[in-house]
Structure 1
Amino acid sequence: MKLSYRWRRRLVSWRRILQELTASNRGDWIWLKTKPLPVASLNRDLWRWAEPSVNYYMLMFLSGVIATLGLLANSSATIIGAMIVAPLMGPIIAMAFAVAMGNRRLLKRASFSMVTGVLLNVATAALITFVLGIDTLTAEVQVRMQPTLIDLGVALAAGAAGAYAKARKHISDALPGVAIAVALVPPLSVIGIGIASWSRTVTVGSTLLFLTNLASVIFCGALVFLAQNYGSLGRAQRGLTVSVLVIALLGLPLGFSFRDLVIKERTRSRLNLLVRERTLALRNVNIETLTVRRRQASGLLVDLEISAPSDSISAQDIDVLHGFLEDELNTPVDLNVSVIPIDRFRALTQQDSSNRQIP
């Protein structure tokens, strides 16, 4: 296929412009190249991050206060602010570096700072919850009670990002974003809320989430440090082995939670579809709440709350919906439906009433 003379001239013109732009931007640009920090410099920096100083404990206390109040108030913005304030990412990244380098002294110091900071945060959350007397589980609290494999994947990626950013001087500004992604402080505050409200489910679920984040950040952080020629695989072998075992043990309940999450979401989508398209009597109702739980034996327990006009839904309509749902999911389902009656009233002004009486 031959190009016309006009198109060939355009191609030559575009090529000349591209060459001029390329020539104007040529150069060595050594100052733009980023290299990993020297070992001594990074080691000193991480020792400062792992130091259990007064500033560290003050920020941990304040972040615990902010996170707890944000969780109880169900405020996502407040919780994000607590993640940024919390300095807990520093000792954990230092632990990952210590694993890669085989530095036991740094590992002990960073572990001490991490453990004491965690205890301070949990105690702060428990005290605030006990004093306020609020035991309502908000949506932000419930989210952190059921970790899944998705949370594990986020923690692994965040650990790698944190180690890479810490080893590169010019991209260390990404660390606040890493702290937000891995969300270390909110699970600790949820643990304190669970302790204050004597809720085993809340405490165990949030503890599982925090341990998942902790082990994942240390494991992936150590791998990234090794990939940047910090330490050696021989020195890090023991620490990596322990991290892998912890992640594998945590992966079992996380896998079960992820399976339950998939089943619940599938049930919700199927039920919404059936209500809207397959059942004529329920087509125009409003779905208020929908919860799906697994029964201890087998099958699912579905609680559905809908709002509809009085006497518009019969028991036969619910039986039809139940049959459709079991056929779609191919599993036994216990369906509990609560109908909130809707009564509509209209009050008119005297002027409107008089107008309506006029034929």
Structure 2
Amino acid sequence: MEKVLKDGKLYSLIEFRDRIYEDLDLSKSDLTTLLCAMLIASIGLNMNTIPAIIGAMLISPLMTPILGVVFALAILDTKLLKKSFKILFIQVAVSLLASTLYFLLSPISYASTEIITRTSPTIWDVVIAFVGGLAGIIGARKKEANNIVPGVAIATALMPPVCTVGYSIATGNLEYMVGASYLFSINCSFIMITHILALM
């Protein structure tokens, strides 16, 4: 690890912390990106369109505050922890409210295959979140451009479960809401666990 750091291929812990602080923002452009990701994911789920769902995963900013929470716990930075949790909560709340509104207005009310898929988490979702989280922290600490982080965004799928919860609220389906919430919790939890283990 030291050799790699000296070669300048990875961010040092201080550089990585500073980068996370810079990325943790709630500017108009960030909220716009979040809403775009939510809308694309909701339409993809509604219309059973996988490419749209993948696109939403790629542009969703939900991974940034999760990474902030993990790194804050790893280095015991309470300021970063509070800021990361705050932004994660706001992002999830905004996505949830907006997706609920979308599904309330959408003329298509039936549950597509893509929606149903995200209401029944399996052990494979845990494995994907765990392995994806490990790859994510490796990719995030690399200075040069790489395709690891986008791949992790697709694999761990944070935005679609949130939008599925929005669908569940809009249609009053408690079973779907519990299942999708559980999937989102699994993804977040195991991404965090893997990141913390990798940083120790």
Q: Normalising by structure 2, report the TM-score.
A: 0.93
Q: Deviations over 1:243-282 (max 9, x none)?
A: xxxxxxxxxxxxxxxxxxxxxxxxxxxxxxxxxxxxxxxx
Are 1:51 and 1:109, in contact at CA under 8 Å, matched by a contact in 2? no
Q: Higher relative contact order by CA 8 Å / sep ≥ 6: 1 or 2? A: 2
Aligned to 1:104: 78
Instruction: State the Cα RMSD in Å.
Output: 1.7
Q: Distance in 1 between matches of 2:33 and 2:109?
A: 25
1:112 aligned counterpart, secondary structure: helix
Amino acid at match of 1:222: I
Are 1:93 and 1:162, in contact at CA under 8 Å, matched by a contact in 2? no
Question: Percent identity at matched positions?
Answer: 28
Residue of 141, 153, 175 corresponding to 2:115: 141
Aligned to 2:68: 94
Q: Deviations over 1:203-224 (max 9, x none)?
A: 1100000000011111111111
Amino acid at match of 2:130: L
Q: Distance in 2 between matches of 1:149 and 1:104?
A: 32
Q: How far is the alpha carbon of 1:69 from its aligned partner?
A: 0.5
More strand by share: 1
Unaligned runs of 5+ in 1: 1-29, 227-359
Aligned to 2:183: 209
Q: Distance in 2 between matches of 1:67 and 1:200?
A: 20
Are 1:49 and 1:94, in contact at CA under 8 Å, matched by a contact in 2? no
Amino acid at match of 1:131: L
Are 2:9 and 2:144, in contact at CA under 8 Å, matched by a contact in 1? no
Bigger radius of gyration: 1
Are 1:51 and 1:110, in contact at CA under 8 Å, matched by a contact in 2? no
Q: Distance in 2 between matches of 1:43 and 1:173?
A: 21
Are 1:83 and 1:180, in contact at CA under 8 Å, matched by a contact in 2? yes
Aligned to 1:128: 102
Matched, 1:61 2:22: no
Aligned to 2:24: 50
Amino acid at match of 2:138: Y
1:121 aligned counterpart, secondary structure: helix
1:169 aligned counterpart, secondary structure: coil
Aligned to 1:182: 156
